[in-house]
Amino acid sequence: FQGIFVLGLPYALLHSGYSGLFLIILAAALCCYTGKILIACLYEENEDGQLIRVRDTYEDIANACCKKLSPRLGGIVVNVTQVMELIMTCILYLVVSGNLLSHSFPYVPVNEKTWSAIAFVTLLPCVFIKTLKIISKLSQLCSLVHFIIILVVMTYCLTQIHQWSWAKFRLSIEFEKFLVSVGVIVFSYTSQIFLPTLEGNMKNPGEFRCMLNWTHFFACILKTTFALTAFLTWGEETKEVITDNLPSFLQTLVNLCLLTKALLSYPLPFFAATEIVYACISRGNHSNYRSPLFALGVRASFLLLTLLMAMFIPHFALLMGLTGSVTGAAMTFLLPSLFHLKLKWKTLSFLEKCADISVCILGFLCSFAGIICSIKGLIEAFG
């Protein structure tokens, strides 16, 4: 929950004002709720009234909901959405790597796109990753670097507390930029893709709901505190990536730490996306699609795709907002509530049905409005 995209939250507050603080809290509550109902869709009651886990993945839930139309239609939709979100995440890591390098070495006559390509070279070994064992070690280092970054930024902000003023918050907001901020905030909480696997691997799955409550609570506190202190420090001068606001003596150090974190974070979504695609392609009986060489080709193709996309869309906050709108809102709000209504309609109370329908409508509106505004923002950014 405390990934590199937390750095975009102060910028989201710049364009959402006081409502942004409310949105960070609301998004935590809604994401926690949809996480619970998504896991509930994995279970069915047996003849004795006991809950039995009959499904294992997000794809299984989708297929169960769409089995009357087509046995695999739901799974295809979910897999496409998952791959889009994971690949967009990889692209964002490359975009932010280029941004960080350009600000760390401003005197080098190289633009952000070229820096992204240089960062890309260090990621080429990702095509040889076959298991999560290596990625887990990289993720441990990534977490350590992240806490160092947050500590440095927060410490600097607290030294500027004498300059803080609540007057920096906007009372009036621009609707389009506000919707992009919604996408940024939603994207910073998305985790539904990983929840079925996480719950299935817990030592005591019965504690899942309690775990989800506490993790979202602490994530909300940390995000609100970080975004608030950073915005109160820089106000209208808040930039897309908050570390760009730091003084030069800290900026280079923090940016290099962030670069390390971004590069260490890249392998996980990349591996997950390529595994989904490879599993879908090799599901048939074609032995050629199961060869190690073909798997290597799939990973290499996806690696190149992320570089090309990063080169053409070098706008961190806008791309994050678009991703949050297109896939984040769908996977986090829209699909879990639809699946829960479909599979549990007969056992849900009236209030539960109202809650699911409300979340479903909210997810649709967030997706639709956010897509329109983010695309418009990208078009304007390209001139």
Q: What is the CATH number of the domain that holds 357?
A: 1.20.1740.10
Please tell me the least confidently modeled range out of 184-193, 238-247, 372-381.
372-381
Most confident of the following: 142-146, 225-229, 314-318:
225-229
Q: How far apart are the first and last CA of the chain?
A: 34
Residues above pLDDT 90, as percent of the chain: 18
Q: Tokens 């390529």 label which residue? A: 274
How do residues 85-120 score in pLDDT, each as one tens digit? 788 788 888 888 887 888 778 888 888 888 888 888
- pLDDT band of residue 41 (cuts 50, 70, 90) is very high
Burial class (CB in 10 A: 0-12, 13-18, 19+), 259: buried
Residue 290 has pLDDT above 70, yes or no: no
Q: How many domains does the chain have?
A: 1
Residue 233 has pLDDT above 60, yes or no: yes
Report, as an integer, the average pLDDT of 58-87: 83
The boundaries of the domain holding residue 313 are 5-382
How do residues 119-172 score in pLDDT, each as one tens digit? 889 898 888 887 777 887 888 888 888 888 888 888 999 999 888 877 777 666
Q: How many angstroms separate the Cα of 111 from the Cα of each of 8, 58, 103, 116, 287? A: 21, 40, 10, 9, 44
Looking at residue 315, what is its pLDDT?
62
Please tell me the least confidently modeled range out of 133-147, 241-255, 318-332, 335-349.
318-332
Looking at residue 314, what is its pLDDT?
54
